[in-house]
Structure 1
Amino acid sequence: MSMPRRRSYALFSCLALLILFFSPTFLPAQVYSGNPKLIVIVVIDQFRGDYLNRFHSEFKGRGFRLFTDEGAWFTNCYYDYANTKTAPGHATIGTGAYSDGHGIETNEWWDTSRDAHHKISSVEDERYQLVDVPSNVIPANLPNAQPSALKYLIGSSPRNLRATTLGDELRLATQGKARVFGVSLKDRASILPSGQSANAAYWLEPASGQFTTSTYYMEHLPEWVHAFNASDRRQRAAHEALADGTDQFFEQVGRMPAANSYELDFAQALIQNEHLGQNGVTDEITISLSANDIEGHAFGPDSPQEHRMVLGLDHDLDAFFTWLDKTVGLKNVWLALSADHGVAPVPSEAAQLGISAVAVNMTEIDAAINTKLNERFSPGSETQYLMPDPDLPYITLNKQAFEQAKVDEKTAEDAVAALVQEAVAASAPQPKSELPLQHRLPPAPRVQAVYTRLQLAHSELPPSEWGRRIAHSYADHGNWFVMAMLDAYQIQGSGAGGTTHYSPWSYDRHVPLAFYGAPFAPGEYRERVAPVDLAATFASLAGVNQPSASVGRVLTEALKPTATAAIK
């Protein structure tokens, strides 16, 4: 080789190395060696996907705009199941599966083998106790305390979660070196997305507002948690919420923007004191922000209160991400944003626009059904064939009552399914004859569909997207039940105001999904995606197994070419 050519080759090699060195490429992640240092999953309770579009022009700093302007933002993310509630939503985000995979179909259910007097919550576990609960909220004489007071002692755990989460897979891949935590105002929202092997999940003791956990994780709170609880941070949050001195912190402060900053400050204390991102492997924290849900039920998605809540959260996320950048470095972090469910508009407000929206009093419906069941199966008696406290989409049958009447499950469920449609239709308001011709008639409640537990168990469902959503919602906890779907924009309620979520309709299934971090190509993506894709994408990028029941797909369209090549 001639000298000039040799020099040219050397110059070319140097230039290539310089380009490679300074190019913003994505190196294949190795959770085993701490690349990335930390995964942060932010879940907003009851945050519909359209909020990011609606309020986008008012966002400032690097709160939501970190995702929408600098990250990969999916605007068409919808849950593919019909039971859109807090517990199943959080379990789905963590596991990448639906209820038929992770076993959590609602927030609470009847389990008479454990308690015949009240429902069991999705994470309630009487085998454990709450940790270091303030003495002023525990009865002084426990043996003589009322049962309602003992709720402060009953612990929580992921006992009902039948699948692993992304955090579990990080822990397994690193032989327990990865540190995984969950934080929320609600126990179910901190426990379910973080998983079975999490180092800890923290939530609020509802009266005092102090953060607690259960003996499933530890016998006593760490000193840093005691220090946080002993600081003036709770008092400042209560003052910001105009609830100084409250003994109902969750109800009074939890529904205000101040609750979000309070919770994010606790998350900062956790990251700092547990040394997340400094352990030589990839750590994870899931932060579920509950205030939006508590406020949203009362006022609805179109209220001034919701507008204030979203903008306040934008400000608080900006502060949190700024702190995270200074302490761990955003270049060392993967972030994800999503929600556990959406929400319906307030029925009375939608009805004014001509939407067939109405609140259906399910307590009255249940009473009417029970009367008909007595007429058919036990004339002259007042047997309670339905379990109290109906909570759509599920109506739980009193299995023991039917068995005593010698009625089998199929007969019982078929009877209730038929009576649900009949009772809801009969509850429609009767139009007044003196109404002028141009006056719109009041919306009439109607049942879109009813399915029995046996139909769900045997997959006797429509071969359609609708049928798939129903199938994804099924989990068996030993009860007889029917699953009832009201028409769109019709909800369970008293008609006194407020709104809720639980349905297969788009407004309850639409949530944000966005990512920020080295592997992600910034941009707005309009492909139809689902929250199950979050865990699948992170697991693939991290090089670990997907959670055990995961059905999500890797969102390769939002990855930089080098990241896509690394996972093939």
Structure 2
Amino acid sequence: MKNSLYLILVFVLSLSCKAQNSVSKLTQTSTNPKLVVGIVVDQMRYDYLTRFYNKYGEGGFKRMMNEGFNCKNNHFNYVPTYTGPGHASVYTGTTPKYHGIIANDWYDKEIKSMVYCAGDDAMQSVGMETSDGQMSPHRMKTTTFSDENRLFTQMKGKTIGISVKDRGAILPAGHTANAAYWFYGKDKGYFITSSFYMNSLPKWVQSFNNSNKVQTYLKPWNTMYDIETYTESGSDKNTYEGGFKGKETATFPYDLKALEDKNGGLDILKTTPYGNSIVADFAIAAIDGESLGQDDITDVLAVSFSSTDYVGHNFGVNSKEVEDTYIRLDKDLERLFNELDSKVGKGNYTVFLTADHAAVDVPAYLESVHVPSGYIDNKEQYQKINEFMVNKFGDTKLIESVTNNQIFLDREKIKELHLNLEDVQESIVNEIITYPHIDKAYSAATMNKASFTEGIESLLQKGFNQKRSGDVLFVYDTAYISYGKTGSTHGSAFNYDTHVPLLLFGKGIKHGETIQKTEITDIAPTMSALLGISFPSGTIGKPLEFVLE
């Protein structure tokens, strides 16, 4: 009898423990956000948060700062600081050394030609008959946290990538995404995708494309507020800005409908704040169309606002056009957050916002205020290198390509001439370091053998992929660029290119701020830690535990 009572008691206790464990597991699952929204603002410097702070409303950038966590000293930890590598690094938690996206375009040493980071000739365009859709993430070697979420949820958690730029949608969404969509302007104004994801566009995308919503943005672009109040930027009329074909000066207002034909049709919208508005419109449509965040299985929405980059390249860091673009982006963020509050529920989603790189002030402007800066004459530089190769080795054809501040050598020809590869590399290093405004130069052999722990050398090494990068790497002087005399660019290891925002808010995020240095590769493992999933396969970053509740 006692034994029977004992067995019954053990059975009841075991059921109770199982029930408690089930409740614990359910509780743990329910603590995850229903939706993670990753926002990358293309070419956003950190100081755009502080410079334009008083022009922002309460519901966009300020909401993230007031309700969430602000990492004020957030940096890229590698070069080159370009769009493709930037988006890949944010979501993989690693650098080009491991994920393999070493630039937007690079010289492929195996096939002896340039390749594009998201290009894939094996794919077909979906939504338009155009080569613009022949894309996939196949050149990215590691997983993203969005991939890991898909794997963890047995592919039940959705991932959708959205951007004006194909690479801005594809690389964050990863290898397992349900879809990535990007903008095809010209005469259509459609969002398209690739056969990598699907064979036909979903009905909600078709409806968006057929709504003529995009065409409504072909209207005058003037400043949102009185231009005289835009005291955070330079004069509207100056010699440091590009502007649009068909308009004599780069000054407000811009009649986009009148300028359309000479500036790529609807592609003109990319170089205005309305390009960001279109992306926000489409992201809001995706929340409904894909039922994102509507159950307890976490979905990921990766949104990249690329028009900030187009505007920056055209008009420059200090322009009123850039200021107005960020004021208007702030409004678009507020619209998106309000939609998330309504459709997913306030407190049910998590957002992070960062950038893929920042940008340098227009060197011509910096020169005018006596800051060391200038421009590199590539043609003159290449001519000098070729003269050196003839004098030293009797052959200019030893160099196959000079791209992305890297020199690629013909290794087969070096073997044929019985030359030592490392000797050739070091000879070029010793030559080009004497050229004006080349500040540093290193061979691939040095990158492979040395172990740099700080400074530009460390950033070069983290951006160096042994299989894909060149034989010689070089760095220009601060604020010296190979670019036109108007507009801003990026790509360097200097703070003006590496220092970008990192704002987080929503479920699981503390309220606070830090000036402790954080790195772009910390974002993906932080999201993985928040979700309780595996880190992406190549992650070198660490979770920012001080931002997590």
Q: Normalized against structure 2, the TM-score is what?
A: 0.84
1:466 maps to which residue? 456
Compute the displacement of 1:481 (Å).
2.9
Quick one: which of 147, 150, 153 aligns to 1:174? 153
1:125 maps to which residue? 120
Q: Does 1:67 align with 2:64?
A: yes
Residues 152, 533 of structure 1: alpha-carbon distance in 2 compared, 3 angstrom cutoff: closer
SS of residue paired to 1:345: coil
Q: Distance in 2 between matches of 1:51 and 1:293?
A: 13
CA contact (8 A) 2:106 2:404 kept: no
1:539 maps to which residue? 528
Q: Does 1:550 align with 2:539?
A: yes
Q: Does 1:215 align with 2:212?
A: no
Compute the displacement of 1:180 (Å).
0.5
Residues 33, 69 of structure 1: alpha-carbon distance in 2 compared, 3 angstrom cutoff: closer
Q: Distance in 2 between matches of 1:493 and 1:481?
A: 23
Q: Distance in 2 between matches of 1:250 and 1:368?
A: 42
Residues 480, 96 of structure 1: alpha-carbon distance in 2 compared, 3 angstrom cutoff: closer
SS of residue paired to 1:328: helix
CA contact (8 A) 2:106 2:403 kept: no
| Cα deviation 1:408-430 (Å, max 9, x = unaligned) | 432332233233223x32xxxxx
Q: Distance in 1 between matches of 2:465 and 2:265?
A: 33
2:326 maps to which residue? 310
SS of residue paired to 1:127: coil
Compute the displacement of 1:377 (Å).
2.1
Number of residues of Structure 1 aligned to a counterpart in Structure 2: 489
Quick one: which of 79, 84, 94 aligns to 1:82? 79
Compute the displacement of 1:396 (Å).
3.0
Judge which range, 477-486 or 403-412, deviates more: 403-412
| Cα deviation 1:261-300 (Å, max 9, x = unaligned) | 0011011111110111114300001101100111111222
Q: Does 1:183 align with 2:183?
A: no
Compute the displacement of 1:47 (Å).
0.2
Q: Distance in 2 between matches of 1:309 and 1:119?
A: 33
2:15 maps to which residue? none
SS of residue paired to 1:124: coil
Compute the displacement of 1:205 (Å).
2.4
| Cα deviation 1:125-167 (Å, max 9, x = unaligned) | 1111211315xxx5xxxxxxxxxxxx446x1111111111110
Compute the displacement of 1:475 (Å).
1.2
Q: Does 1:419 align with 2:414?
A: no
CA contact (8 A) 1:131 1:220 kept: yes
Quick one: which of 491, 494, 498 aligns to 1:505? 494
Compute the displacement of 1:352 (Å).
2.0
1:566 maps to which residue? none
Compute the displacement of 1:371 (Å).
2.3
2:372 maps to which residue? 356
Amino acid at match of 1:335: V
Amino acid at match of 2:364: S
| Cα deviation 1:169-224 (Å, max 9, x = unaligned) | 11011110000011111111111112111111111225343111111111111122
Residues 292, 385 of structure 1: alpha-carbon distance in 2 compared, 3 angstrom cutoff: farther
Residues 249, 100 of structure 1: alpha-carbon distance in 2 compared, 3 angstrom cutoff: farther
SS of residue paired to 1:74: strand
Residues 333, 402 of structure 1: alpha-carbon distance in 2 compared, 3 angstrom cutoff: same
2:93 maps to which residue? 96
| Cα deviation 1:513-544 (Å, max 9, x = unaligned) | 01111322222221111121211111111111
Q: Does 1:263 align with 2:276?
A: no
| Cα deviation 1:217-269 (Å, max 9, x = unaligned) | 11111122122111111211233554335472575210100000001101111
Judge which range, 300-309 or 230-239, deviates more: 230-239
Residues 34, 238 of structure 1: alpha-carbon distance in 2 compared, 3 angstrom cutoff: farther
Amino acid at match of 1:413: Q
Residues 231, 34 of structure 1: alpha-carbon distance in 2 compared, 3 angstrom cutoff: farther
Q: Distance in 2 between matches of 1:243 and 1:302?
A: 22
Aligned pairs for 1:107-146 within 5 A = 107-111=104-108, 113-114=110-111, 116=112, 119-134=114-129
Q: Distance in 2 between matches of 1:464 and 1:479?
A: 20
SS of residue paired to 1:156: coil
| Cα deviation 1:288-318 (Å, max 9, x = unaligned) | 1100111111222111111111111111111
Q: Does 1:521 align with 2:510?
A: yes
2:441 maps to which residue? 450
CA contact (8 A) 1:34 1:282 kept: no
Judge which range, 214-223 or 335-344, deviates more: 214-223
1:395 maps to which residue? 407
2:140 maps to which residue? 161
| Cα deviation 1:436-463 (Å, max 9, x = unaligned) | xxxxxxxxxx2221112222223x2545
SS of residue paired to 1:254: helix
Amino acid at match of 2:256: A
Percent identical across equivalent pairs?
31
| Cα deviation 1:339-392 (Å, max 9, x = unaligned) | 01111111111122222101112233112211221232226xxx444445x443
Q: Distance in 1 between matches of 2:404 and 2:380?
A: 13
Q: Distance in 1 between matches of 2:194 and 2:220?
A: 29
SS of residue paired to 2:516: coil
2:473 maps to which residue? 483
Amino acid at match of 1:35: N
1:53 maps to which residue? 50
Amino acid at match of 2:219: H
Q: Distance in 2 between matches of 1:218 and 1:40?
A: 22
CA contact (8 A) 1:111 1:477 kept: no
Q: Distance in 1 between matches of 2:415 and 2:320?
A: 51
Unaligned runs of 5+ in 1: 1-26, 139-150, 426-445, 564-568
Amino acid at match of 1:544: I
Q: Distance in 1 between matches of 2:157 and 2:76?
A: 29
Q: Distance in 1 between matches of 2:407 and 2:310?
A: 24
Q: Distance in 1 between matches of 2:83 and 2:468?
A: 21
Q: Distance in 1 between matches of 2:296 and 2:541?
A: 28
1:232 maps to which residue? 212
Residues 240, 35 of structure 1: alpha-carbon distance in 2 compared, 3 angstrom cutoff: farther
Residues 283, 405 of structure 1: alpha-carbon distance in 2 compared, 3 angstrom cutoff: same
Aligned pairs for 1:218-367 within 5 A = 218-239=198-219, 242-244=255-257, 246=261, 248-249=264-265, 251-367=267-383
Amino acid at match of 1:329: G
SS of residue paired to 1:449: strand
RMSD: 2.3
SS of residue paired to 1:528: strand
Amino acid at match of 2:166: D
Runs of 4+ aligned residues of structure 1 deviating over 6 Å after TM superposition are 27-31
